[in-house]
């Protein structure tokens, strides 16, 4: 099977498994797991941030960040397609008792004027207090779209002048960095907190890291414990994440190239209505005429190609570490045959 359903489906490579097998471990709740400590330190310095916190999932890193940045009743500003709102089980309400203001952005991206307009007047007692802006880069439901870094800086300005914190859901931040050739240190300077996932296109089996300043991460470590996310000899999984961070970032360019090749084959077909601009490793397209999304997904599955029907008309394909050039060629032949 050639599995394009998600970039979370990757299996550890032999080199990664070897690193995991040989990891030196300790009890991380005691702060004594050297491999977890190394991962946290390496991730933080990658972005020039002070500290990191290893967590089992990107949902947990995002939710901890939201909880640390807000008080009950405060408002979080984000895109209406954002993962923190759509795919984290209502966690903003459950974990932080916070309110949300949704903005309809451009394929998952917000602009500074939109954020400015979304900020509530703090003197109006009817309104929740705007406290946090959360961006997503790349934007999953935006088809893997990336921000221009200058646009993020403009949003930062709005945050600074309105006393708002700025969080980044960077589940696929490495894809954005590779696609835009941006400097990770600039990201570290601009955000109050960043969540990165090692378990997506980077290919680790488990793991996300929350980044921020020392005081923030100290508070985050307490919240992680409350959520049950304090793990013991977590170095075995941190070793896989560290291996991913060290070895699998540059190769993301290959996934982006593969996505372009597949999108170019799709666009020629009469049953394709439109494709969101392919900027990284995600292809989201809508179908028309001969097939609905489920039918197309089933036809491709008969040729051993797995995709996901997101809605009756939308299909998603995601490139990752376990998709090689032969598989891409086979997929393109299958598309031509439809
Ligand atoms: C995958 C993902 C997350 C985190 O998901 P987990 O499965 O909890 O690790 C967060 N944000 C985005 C945009 C994602 O795609």
Domain shared by 95 and 145, yes or no: yes
pLDDT of residue 36: 98
pLDDT of residue 103: 98
Domain shared by 149 and 225, yes or no: yes
CATH number, domain containing residue 213: 3.40.640.10
Domain shared by 271 and 303, yes or no: yes
Domain shared by 302 and 323, yes or no: yes
Q: How far apart are CA 112 and CA 241, in angstroms?
A: 34
Choose the final residue of a domain: 247, 270, 289: 247
Residue at 37 is within a domain: yes
pLDDT of residue 139: 98
pLDDT of residue 14: 98
For ligand 1, whether the C-beta of 83 sits within 6 Å is yes
Domain shared by 196 and 262, yes or no: no
Instruction: Return averaged pLDDT per consecutive 10 residues of the chain, 338 residues in all.
Output: 97 98 98 98 98 98 98 98 98 98 98 98 96 98 98 98 98 98 98 98 97 98 98 98 98 98 97 98 97 97 97 97 97 96
Domain shared by 189 and 309, yes or no: no
Residue at 6 is within a domain: no
CATH number, domain containing residue 328: 3.90.1150.10
Host domain of residue 36:
14-247
Distance 337 CA to ligand 1 centre (A): 34
Domain shared by 239 and 264, yes or no: no
Q: Give the residue among 117, 187, 116, 118 at the shortest CA–CA distance from 155.
A: 116
Residue at 112 is within a domain: yes
Q: Phi, psi (5° rounding) for residue 256? A: -65, -40
Domain shared by 129 and 199, yes or no: yes
pLDDT of residue 123: 93
Domain shared by 284 and 322, yes or no: yes
Using the atom order of ligand 1, give the atom closest to the CA of residue 200.
Answer: 1
Dihedral (Cα; 53, 59, 64, 69), 10-degree rounding: 120
Residue at 327 is within a domain: yes
Residue at 5 is within a domain: no
Choose the final residue of a domain: 247, 282, 315: 247
pLDDT of residue 267: 97
Tokens encoding 162? 């309105």
Which of 10, 58, 78, 88 is the pocket-test mutation for ligand 1 (most atoms within 8 Å of CB)? 58
pLDDT of residue 238: 98
Domain shared by 196 and 99, yes or no: yes
Distance 289 CA to ligand 1 centre (A): 33
Q: Phi, psi (5° rounding) for residue 317? A: -130, 135
Domain shared by 160 and 216, yes or no: yes
pTM to 2 decimal places: 0.97
For ligand 1, whether the C-beta of 82 sits within 6 Å is no
Choose the final residue of a domain: 221, 247, 273: 247
Residue at 273 is within a domain: yes
Domain shared by 158 and 50, yes or no: yes
Q: Enumerate residues 6+ apart whose C-beta is below 8 A from 29.
A: 225, 230, 231, 232
Using the atom order of ligand 1, give the atom closest to the CA of residue 138.
Answer: 13
Q: How many domains does the chain have?
A: 2
pLDDT of residue 254: 98
| Helix, coil or strand: residue 103 | strand
Q: CB count, 10 Å around CB of 94?
A: 11
Q: Phi, psi (5° rounding) for residue 328? A: -65, -45
pLDDT of residue 8: 97
Tokens encoding 101? 């203001």
Q: Give the residue among 40, 63, 82 at the shortest CA–CA distance from 198.
A: 40
Residue at 9 is within a domain: no
For ligand 1, whether the C-beta of 318 sits within 6 Å is no
Residue at 220 is within a domain: yes
Q: How far apart are CA 197 and CA 200, in angstroms?
A: 6
């Amino acid at each position: 099977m050639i599995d394009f359903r998600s970039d979370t489906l990757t299996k550890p490579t032999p080199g990664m498994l070897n690193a995991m097998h040989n990891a030196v471990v300790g009890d991380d709740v005691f702060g004594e797991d050297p491999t977890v400590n190394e991962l946290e330190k390496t991730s933080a310095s990658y972005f020039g941030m002070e500290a990191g916190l290893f967590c089992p999932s990107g949902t947990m890193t995002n939710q901890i960040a939201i909880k640390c940045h807000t008080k009950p009743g405060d408002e979080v500003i984000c895109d209406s397609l954002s993962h923190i709102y759509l795919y984290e089980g209502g966690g903003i309400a459950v974990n932080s008792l916070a309110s949300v203001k949704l903005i309809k952005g451009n394929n998952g991206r917000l602009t500074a004027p939109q954020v400015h307009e979304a900020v509530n007047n703090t003197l109006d007692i009817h309104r929740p207090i705007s406290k946090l802006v959360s961006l997503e880069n790349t934007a999953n439901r935006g088809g893997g779209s990336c921000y221009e870094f200058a646009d993020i800086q403009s949003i930062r300005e709005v945050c600074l002048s309105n006393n708002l914190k700025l969080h980044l859901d960077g589940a696929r931040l490495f894809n954005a960095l590779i696609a835009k050739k941006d400097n990770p240190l600039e990201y570290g300077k601009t955000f109050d907190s960043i969540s990165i996932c090692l378990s997506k296109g980077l290919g680790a089996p488990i793991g996300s890291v929350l980044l921020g300043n020392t005081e923030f991460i100290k508070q985050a470590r307490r919240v992680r414990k409350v959520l049950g996310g304090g793990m013991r000899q977590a170095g075995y999984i941190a070793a896989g994440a560290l291996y991913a961070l060290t070895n699998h970032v540059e190769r993301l360019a290959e996934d982006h190239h593969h996505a372009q090749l597949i999108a170019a084959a799709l666009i020629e077909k009469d049953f394709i209505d439109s494709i969101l601009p392919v900027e990284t490793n995600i292809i989201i397209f809508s179908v028309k005429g001969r097939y609905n999304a489920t039918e197309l997904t089933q036809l491709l599955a008969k040729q051993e190609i797995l995709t996901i029907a997101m809605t009756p008309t939308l299909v998603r394909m995601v490139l990752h570490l376990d998709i090689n050039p032969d598989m891409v060629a086979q997929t393109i032949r299958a598309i031509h045959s439809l």
